Amino acid sequence: MIDALLTYLPSDFPWKDRIHYFDTIDSTNTRAKELAAQSAPHGTVLLADRQTGGRGRMGRSFHSPAGKGIYLSVILRPGCHASQLMHLTCAAGTAMCDAVEKAAGLRPGIKWTNDLVVGSRKLGGILTELSLNPDGTVACAVVGIGINCSHAAEDFPEDIRSIATSLHMVSGSEISREQMIAAMLESLEAMSRELLTGKEAIMAQYRTDCVTLGRQISVVTADRVRHGIARDIDQDGGLIVEFPDGHLEAVSSGEVSIRGMYGYI
């Protein structure tokens, strides 16, 4: 896998000497955090053919069968305070839209904050996890990305079959996983260089990619469900929602469902 991947990467790609491949792993994010704790450098990449405990946001699992998807985590050491990195998931999202567009010829949308979507179906997701030093600076950030690549509809378990899609299903052609991974790594490496200095441009692109804006949504938190319209995204990636009484509020956590997407009507 790594040899084939390297044929798609520029010969001077700065992370090419720190790519780890696993046939089977519980979760590339979990393993990345372990490696980071053992001083793995910025740009360390973990790839797996299959995950037995792939994780998503909000304690969900990420279906990760062998030979079908891309399961990738990268360790970043941006050397900044956590408050400067609130837009990291958004930055990774637009970087992944760039990569899919480059390798597969179509640009997905982003369902706020971290789902890659095509039409009303989920193509993949992003799970970012930060480890902080006692002074609030970032010891490391792990950005984990899962993309459904070669799946046919029947490869998805029944409970997600009607809401999931794959690059193969949307493009009608066979997408090389190695080529897709190379595009993802190049996008992530470029993103990591622009993360702190290019925040405005990153967030402008995120607003363009985000399919949530302008839609009727429901915001689900532990104690209540509220309905509103998604109006904007702030510089930290918070979703600005207009509620029925007209007030605007930035939502930064909880589950946001979009009317008409993933079956929510």
Q: Which residues bind ligand BTN (CB under 6 A)?
A: 27-29, 51, 54-57, 60, 62, 71-73, 114, 125-127, 144-146
Comparing every residue's Cβ against ligand BTN, the nearest one is 125
CB 35 within 8 A of CB 26: no
CB 147 within 8 A of CB 70: yes
- Looking at residue 186, the DSSP 8-state letter turns out to be H
Q: Which is nearer to ligand BTN, 47 or 229 (CB)?
A: 47
Residue in this structure with the two tokens 């998807």, named with its chain if needed: 69
CB 240 within 8 A of CB 231: yes
CB of 12 to ligand BTN, least distance (A): 26
Q: Which is nearer to ligand BTN, 10 or 67 (CB)?
A: 67
Helix (H) or strand (E) holding 8: helix 2-8
CB of 191 to ligand BTN, least distance (A): 16
Question: b vs e for 43-60, b when ≥16 Cβ sit within 10 Å of the residue's Cβ?
Answer: bbbbbbbbbeebbbbeee
CB of 105 to ligand BTN, least distance (A): 23
CB 68 within 8 A of CB 151: yes
Q: Which is nearer to ligand BTN, 71 or 133 (CB)?
A: 71
Residue in this structure with the two tokens 């372990």, named with its chain if needed: 34
CB of 144 to ligand BTN, least distance (A): 3
CB of 130 to ligand BTN, least distance (A): 14
Residue in this structure with the two tokens 């079956």, named with its chain if needed: 263
Q: Which is nearer to ligand BTN, 108 or 144 (CB)?
A: 144
Q: Which is nearer to ligand BTN, 220 or 229 (CB)?
A: 220
